[in-house]
A and B are shown apart, each in its own frame.
Chain A
């Protein structure tokens, strides 16, 4: 297990290096540079600015400097936000995105497992048909439509009570987080419900379920102990990639609900070609996602004894 974890971590570090290099290359392919956005400046000022930010050096030199700084955990100073460290931007705004993402994953997993199990229990009966119809809707409707509809719903709820019970936009309290995280988790929830349903139905026909039934175990014990526990496995496998989908899907939700998350800063930085912020956020996101996938894989080993053995 330890050797496996170490091997995965090593591969993860190489991946993060690859992400950093790819980002650096992509960014320097973009025509223009961050200083071009400023008002017209004299050649002298421009040269000074370039020297300050190290833009006067050649691309390979910049790459080496950047990599060195990154290893010591320093992403530099933002070009567009005066004297603001990229590390500070990440520290201030990532927790917001993370909270949103964690809540969304929470909603999606609980909902997906619950609905999936329910549809399998009521197979081809009314609850199954209704839930599966909603699932199809959840998979085919884009997240920004859900975000817009969610906001509309909040407006109506608030006007019904004549007071701002649940805030429509912004960030801060728990009530701010409810709707955005539900909207964000909706697509994943639909996916997990579908997966859970099919894996539940597959497991009903397994030999060990028949054995358990023959032993005379109570239906609820079979359901919770044997069926549910085994059916959750595929759900956990897709959780890793889904965390990635939710983190980036957060961009739209952050935009619509005016949430000060890291996604908004990334989009802004790309538009303004803020080299350091782009590099910092991309590498940070990349490292985070790689770590998440590794974590989920290790977690999988704990839950499924068959994986642990091999």
Chain B
């Protein structure tokens, strides 16, 4: 314990001067560089970022690449499901068809037949198109006429023949022309012979798949004619990759225009109210005291307002003039009601940062209040603000969609994703694509912003930094 150390002469030599006494082992990174580096490691956040960039391109560059008027109605393709490009045959304008009436009746049977046999040789006359389908069949002995049925699926029993189209006048009238709402799909035509009063229990069925047809004048009206096309040629008709809506408007073009509205509100409104929140919260937090408590009490009141109720009230209060789309009232309402949460957050941050030594140092050096706020305090709250902004976007998009869905949002004919959902939900059962696409776009956007927000929170969290 009490052993004393005897210094030698070497102990008093100067130490060797090491060159490596002070060296940067890693490159110096600013806060944002470091955050970006960590964000890049997060695959989910990175994919979300690419999706958001893709959505921005879809919204801004899309209308130039897909140059279709979103308000143009294609009445030949109403509520069309998504499909590949379609061809149509050029046909003559409709001319009356006399039908096929045989010269003599089939031989009268000697006795009354219990069951007339089914007709045979049911076939299509000419080409079946969506303008008209003409069918004929061979007559049967004992028939006083024939009932024609059409179904959209193969009939299983005689009770399953589908829509009755008509009855021919005699056993020698062996043709029928169908022009009833023909679409490009399979039809099952069935012929049932009758004795003039009752239908027989026999039938014959034929599958017909009509070609899409268009007349010369229609094609000319829609600018589809090339100079050298003639009757019978196939020409390409308007292409709707995402289908059309209930008024025959192109879904892809409408989704792009709707994206402009939805994303404009979804991104610009949070940007504005976050900006206002920063200023409000920054001042309250920086000056503190009585000033702070008055400002914050007011913010508390605004937070307590029932959000959607007041969104609706404000939206109506700011009014929609003739020819306006209602985007501005909604933006204003969102900003008026959205700012307090950011203001609270920024205030809390500012209160924390204000106590830091570097603020004191800056003040000692003679920095003015304005300089301190802009140069030192706000940049230090930027991380938290960025995260808030990212999470505010999905909720703004949801609010827009919600308001448009209950019919208090964007006024027609301007589309937004929410109002497109509102229209699509009415035809959900028959044409699901009209609801599916806008809902999908809303979901993807919200999802991408949420995941990016999660990633940003992790990347900007300084606690995570020390763990590495």
Binding site for B on A (CB under 8 A): 11, 14-15, 18-19, 22-23, 26-27, 29-31, 136-137, 139-145, 148, 152, 155, 244, 247-248, 251-252, 255-256, 266-267, 270-271, 278, 281-282, 285-286, 289-290, 293
Given the interface pairs A30-B319, A252-B405, the reply to whether A19 lies near B306 with Cβ below 8 Å is: yes
Asked if B408 is an interface residue, CB under 8 A from chain A, the answer is yes
Check A26/B317 contact, CB under 8 A, given A142-B401, A252-B405: yes
Chain B residue, CB-CB nearest to A145: B439
Taking the closest CB of chain B, its distance from the CB of A255, in whole angstroms, is: 6
Q: Are A139 and B429 in contact (CB under 8 A)?
A: no
Q: Which residues of A contact B447 (CB under 8 A)?
A: 136, 139-140
* A144 and B405 in contact, given A30-B319, A136-B447, A270-B313 (Cβ under 8 angstroms): yes
Q: Is the CB of B446 within 8 A of A139?
A: yes
Residues of A within 8 A of B446 (CB): 139-140
A144-B304 contact given A26-B313, A139-B450, A152-B429, CB 8 Å threshold: no
One of A15, A140, A244, A270 near B408 (C-beta < 8 A):
A270
Interface of A is mostly: helix
Closest Cβ of chain A: how far from B158's Cβ, in Å?
23
Residue-wise, chain B 290-306 has the 8 Å CB interface mask toward A (1 for contact) of 00000000001100111
B276 an interface residue at 8 Å Cβ cutoff? no
Known A26-B314, A142-B442: A290·B405 in contact at CB below 8 Å: no
Closest CB of chain A to B417's CB: distance in Å? 9
Q: Report the separation of the CA atoms of residues A145 and B440 in the bound assembly, to the nearest whole angstrom.
A: 10
In the complex, A142 Cα to B408 Cα: how many Å? 16
Q: Once the chains are docked, how many angstroms separate the CA of A139 from the CA of B305?
A: 23
B contact residues, range: 35 or more
Residue positions of B touching A, CB distance < 8 A? 300-301, 304-310, 312-314, 316-319, 394, 398, 401-402, 405-406, 408, 418, 421-422, 425, 428-429, 435, 439, 442-444, 446-447, 450-451
Q: Contacts A267-B408, A286-B305, A289-B304: A141 and B313 contacting too (C-beta < 8 A)?
A: no
Do A285 and B450 touch (CB < 8 A)? no
Contacts of A271 in B (CB 8 A): 408
Selected from A141, A155, A244, A270, the residue in CB contact (under 8 A) with B306 is A244
Instruction: Give the chain A neighbours of B408 by CB distance below 8 A.
Output: 267, 270-271
- Chain B residues whose CB sits within 8 angstroms of the CB of A248 once the complex forms: 306-309
A141 is contacted by which of B305, B314, B406, B443 (Cβ under 8 Å)? B443
